[in-house]
Structure 1
Amino acid sequence: MNGNDSGKWAARLAIGRDAVVVVLGTGIVLMALWWVLSRLGNVVVVLMMAGMFEITLSPMVDRLALYWNRPLAVLVVVLGAVVIFVVGGILLVTVIAGQLATLVAKLPNEVQTLTQTTPGLMAWFRHTGIQVNILQVESRIFSSLGQVSTFLVTQTVTFVTHLIDSIVDGAITIFITVYLLLDANRIQAAVLRLIPHHQREGLLAVEHTLSRVIGGYVRGQMALSLIVGTAFGFGTWLIGLPYPLVIGVFAAVMELIPLLGPVLGAILPVLLALFNHPWVQIPEVLVLLAAAHLLESQILGPKIIRSQVGVHPVISVLALMIGASLRGILGALFAVPIAGILVAAWVAGVRVWREKVVLPSQPTPPID
């Protein structure tokens, strides 16, 4: 073996050694980071929520900052969001609590009405050997309600403690969000000063892509949740089901869960239809569920996600399926924004490659 061959082997060994060191070092850093984050879970959640709020509210602040100074724009946007959230939450909780109390009070009578209006169902139960004792069902319902009341009384201290913790975390989240919105430009400038000049353009492109994809996805999901919740509430009101506001809010919250949202949102109206006029209203609820699922999964969902995230509807559906198959609901929740980031990275990479490589369809640059 001559000197050139030995030098090549030494270089290859050095490259392999460096690769092993990089892989091991990266693994150690990731494990250490995971260990730290697992013990700072609440802090990480607060920071993530603040970052998400900053990305979501930043476009509105930037638009108002064209006419007002930025602190006033931040104050108006943040206060408006807090007022809408708090006042809307209080009104919804008040109305929903009253409707739920009425529903619980009427539940035994609804069970009795169900058995009286569906004699065929009870006969089928008896024929198949299933014994249904209405008095026993009612006694169990009242017993369960009593146990729930006792549980609520005994857990009052724990509930108040968690409520105070949630209020404190919410206040800290709002404070960090306001700080990020106020000093976004200065934070960006400080970070750019740490980056070499030839890499700043790429970093700005990454920051812009993340803001567009994540913020667009959050805004799109909130809009989709509002539309589906309104459709469920209005549809059940047309059908004649009681408590349409409760149904609408429940469907809107469930819609935040990808893929399973409309199905979970239909549980409450199906139960209420079962207690009222099951042979008429259950088919109507199923038709409403099918229409809402079609509207959400085939029409509004892909279009809203495409307009906000920049992902084709086919890619968003495939991303949801892949995410759900890999990590269940959690995977489906993050599948679309991850797909948007990957698509943006692919487009940027192709653009850079086209600038560096002369394709057959491009004119050959002049030779100096």
Structure 2
Amino acid sequence: MPFQTPKRFRWNLAALRDLVLVVLGTATVIYGLGFLLSRLGRVVLILILAIIFTITLSPLVDRLANHWRRPWAVLVVVLGAVLVIVGGGAILGIVITGQLVTLVKHVPENVQHLSTLAPGLLSWLSHNNIHINIPSLENKILSNAGKVSSFIVSQTINIVTNVIGALVDGAIVLFVTVYWLLDAERMQLAILRLVPVQHRDLVLAAEHTLTRVVGGYVRGQLLLSAVVGSAFGLGSWAIGLSYPLLIGVLAGVMELIPLLGPVLGAIVPLIMALAGHPLVQVPEVAVLFAAVHLLESQILGPRIIRSQVGLHPVLSVLALMIGADWQGVWGALFAVPAAGIVVAAWVAAVRLWRERVVLPSQQVHRSSSETAASSTGDRRNILPEKGV
């Protein structure tokens, strides 16, 4: 068969109409999703949490379901997860509360100690017409600490209301998660029956992508959080900082915020070092932060998170900023996996479109083998590769 040169793409009224319809349709969908998310933020958050818990616990439930009945497997896994979260949170809460009370009691002497740290720096600032009144600063810090305590007492009703609301939301998330874990197979079959036979491979591929991205991200992020928190806690204990357990827990929680976790986790040990022996402990904290950041960003992060989500660091930063601006801390937590899902879906859609539409840069006639491969709807051709 002689080689045929591809036809040049020609703009005509039909092509221009299709392009305008695609742009308008995409803009309408994006606007509609944004409108719904802005009005139903709490409901969407509950559904997202339920989906994340379902995807995270589903592999363990499936393994136990091979030996037990599925309801028993769901009961054991969910009860185990609840006991770990509630029991571990209660134990850590008791210990951290005690350390926080001790820390608050030592605030005045720590403030006075900080005022004697850098007289040379203060004199240099004064020489350059930058005046800092240390006694006034001490009084402001102590008065603000008292205001915080009185504010907490005065807002007890609001705090109790928010706690009750969080418990109710948690119960709803638990109920939805249990329901989805029990009826996962029936829900999958019901969805597949609604989809034409020729498109079922695409639906299964989308489900596989969603499970891989979300499940891998959650499990990887929890592992990173445990490693970073343990590293900061043990490192703080080794260099003699006070409250190492508090430092480790805060560092682990901060690690749940993508990209900024190690930086935020290093703030507390740095303050502790300034309040203790700054000339010795501040350099040690700097070395500890550098070691933990190297471990997280260069060794564990690329192998655990980036390989699972398949998202470029620049896109991760943009997703983090958008999520934080939309829903604050919760948005920052879920921004990266959501962006990974969007990118994976986009890549899959583009590949599927290229299989069914002849682009201007492609030849007009495909070989019979390529046509047969594309018509089978092979699942591996639809799934996006990692490392987008």
- Matched residues in 1 for 2:308 and 2:224: separation? 12
- 1:115 CA displacement: 4.1
Determine if contact 2:213/2:340 at 8 Å carries over to the other structure. yes
Q: Structure 2 unaligned segments of length 5 or more: list them.
A: 1-11, 325-331, 357-365, 371-388
Q: Structure 1 residues 298 and 169, CA, compared in 2 at 3 Å: closer, same or farther?
A: same
CA contact (8 A) 1:74 1:182 kept: yes
Counterpart of 1:259 in 2: which secondary structure? coil
Q: How far is 1:348 from its partner?
A: 7.3
Q: Distance in 1 between matches of 2:306 and 2:95?
A: 35
- Mapped partners of 1:68, 1:175: distance in 2: 21
From the superposition, tell whether residues 347 and 29 of structure 1 become closer, same or farther in structure 2 (CA, over 3 Å): closer
- The amino acid of 2:62's aligned partner reads D
Match of 1:321 in 2: 314
In the alignment of these two chains, the number of paired residues is: 341
Relative to its length, the structure with more helix (as a share) is 1
Deviations, residues 170-218 of structure 1 (Å, cap 9, x unaligned): 1000000000000000000100110111111221111112101111011
Question: How has the CA–CA distance of structure 1 residues 350 and 244 changed in structure 2, closer, same or farther, with 3 Å as cutoff?
Answer: farther
The residue identity in structure 2 corresponding to 1:337 is G
Instruction: Please list, as runs of the form range in 1=range in 2, the aligned pairs for 1:65-144 lying within 5 A after superposition.
Output: 65-116=65-116, 120=120, 124=124, 135-144=135-144
Shift of the 131–18 alpha-carbon distance from structure 1 to 2, 3 Å rule, reads closer
1:37 paired residue number: 37
The structure, 1 or 2, with the larger RCO (C-alpha pairs under 8 Å, 6+ apart) is: 2
What does residue range 150-229 of structure 1 map to in structure 2 within 5 Å? 150-229=150-229
Superposition deviation, residue 122 in structure 1: 5.6
State the Cα deviation string for residues 36-92 of structure 1 (Å, max 9, x = none): 332111111101110111011111111111111111111111111111111111111
99-108 vs 180-189, greater mean Cα deviation: 99-108
Q: CA deviation at 1:112?
A: 2.5
Q: What's the counterpart of residue 145 of structure 2? A: 145
Task: Return the TM-score normalized by structure 1.
Answer: 0.82
> What letter is aligned with 1:341?
A
Q: Distance in 1 between matches of 2:317 and 2:58?
A: 30
State the secondary structure of the residue aligned to 2:185. Answer: helix
Q: Distance in 1 between matches of 2:213 and 2:274?
A: 42
In structure 2, what is the equivalent of residue 334 of structure 1? 336
Q: How does 1:14-29 map to 2 (within 5 A)?
A: 16-17=16-17, 20-21=20-21, 23-29=23-29
Could you tell me which residue of structure 1 aligns to residue 7 of structure 2?
none
Indicate the residue corresponding to 2:348 in structure 1. Answer: 345
Q: Assess if the C-alpha contact under 8 Å between 1:50 and 1:176 holds in 2.
A: yes
Distance 2:85 2:242 in 1: 25
Q: Is 1:57–1:77's contact at 8 Å kept on the other side of the alignment?
A: yes
**What value does the CA root-mean-square deviation take over the aligned residues?**
3.1
Q: Is the 8 A contact 2:250 2:265 kept in 1?
A: yes
Conserved? CA contact 1:257–1:329, under 8 Å: no
Q: Name the SS for the 2:57 alignment partner.
A: helix
**Structure 2: how far apart are the matches of 1:31 and 1:306?**
29
Query: Alpha-carbon deviation of 1:94?
Result: 1.5
Question: Structure 1 residues 187 and 116 mapped into 2: Cα distance closer, same or farther (>3 Å)?
Answer: same
In structure 2, do the counterparts of structure 1 residues 305 and 190 end up closer, same or farther at CA, with 3 Å as the change threshold?
A: same
CA distance in 2, matches of 1:337, 1:358: 32
Structure 1, unpaired ranges of 5+: 1-11, 360-368
Aligned to 2:275: 275
| Alpha-carbon spacing, 1:76–1:351, altered in 2? closer, same or farther (3 Å) | farther
Could you say if the C-alpha distance between residues 351 and 239 of structure 1 is closer, same or farther in structure 2, counting changes exceeding 3 Å? farther
Query: Once structures 1 and 2 are overlaid, which stretch shifts more, 172-181 or 116-125?
Result: 116-125
Could you say which residue in structure 2 is the equivalent of 1:285? 285
Pair 1:54 & 2:57 matched: no
CA contact under 8 A between 1:262 and 1:292: conserved in structure 2?
yes
Identity across the alignment (%)? 55
Residues 22 and 129 (structure 1), Cα distance of their counterparts in 2 relative to 1, 3 Å cut: closer
Aligned partners of 2:319 and 2:336 also within 8 Å? no
> Take 2:22 and 2:349, find their aligned partners in 1: how far apart are those partners?
25
